[in-house]
A and B are shown apart, each in its own frame.
Chain A
């Protein structure tokens, strides 16, 4: 399965996302923001970073990149799309996901291994988890506060579109402790934590078993890749 990872000016974690795709059993395909070409990929990852230096608003300028018109068309046709951190910000700025992301309520950049609960295991990127599974995924952001109006929050909660929720600590003031959401169809998922940084033993978050042994993020990628293979 070919999984495209889009590089925008200022993307930081595009190579890590490509590596995670490989570890998850997929074939990573580098995509360029300035092209109108998805290179026949089966799924797309919008990686973390600081596209356009977060100028205007985080993700705002990248959301108007040439390749985003193809991404929006593909997402609306059901292709799995995952937005991580800045990628999540790009997805809300392109209106593929509802709500917005604002500066952390405490004003500081935050970097920590974050406990999450998986609350929807029916999305393209979470179907390999068990219901209410608790996972640890690294988080690093300055503008990760998820907000939406009350009607949107009620709809997200009611329809099960809150996919990941912060546990123990709300690191950025997100409404309802929301860490990640999906669209109604479940093919588009965005979250602030970085699953691609928890995919390889020795380079992930600490666990009780051993330092840096956490690989909970790998399931994001195997979820999408194995369900694509099952439908192929």
Chain B
């Protein structure tokens, strides 16, 4: 089944306590070359038929109305799964 991916990140100016906690763990693991971590969300929306422009437009609407709160978050990607997104790989 085709999948539309929506990615949401906390706005740059908003404190991300989760990311901060992970960054703290990296320091404790002696990986301080990674100086900051921010954690976002990825949604995978399964559709029944082929991915059309209408479906993408609808996904963008859902992304801005429900999946993200644009007061505190940015929608950074709405589209087909990219090759690097193959969750079976890596």
A residues engaging B (CB < 8 A)? 56-57, 60, 64, 92-93, 98-100, 102-107, 145, 147-149, 173
Closest chain-B Cβ to A44's Cβ sits at a distance in Å of: 22
> What number of B residues sit within 8 Å (CB to CB) of A?
12
On whether the beta carbons of B17 and A147 are closer than 8 Å, the reply is no
B residues engaging A (CB < 8 A)? 10, 14-15, 17-18, 20-21, 66-67, 69, 71-72
A104-B17, A148-B71 given; name 7 further pairs at CB < 8 Å.
A56-B67, A60-B66, A60-B69, A100-B71, A102-B17, A107-B21, A147-B14
On whether the beta carbons of A57 and B21 are closer than 8 Å, the reply is no
- Give the complex CA separation of A100 and B15 in angstroms: 12
Q: Interface of chain A, helix or strand or loop or mixed?
A: loop
Closest chain-B Cβ to A46's Cβ sits at a distance in Å of: 17
Chain A to chain B contacts (Cβ below 8 Å), 19 pairs = A56-B67, A60-B66, A60-B69, A92-B71, A93-B69, A99-B71, A100-B69, A102-B10, A102-B14, A102-B15, A102-B72, A103-B17, A103-B18, A104-B17, A105-B15, A106-B17, A107-B17, A147-B71, A147-B72
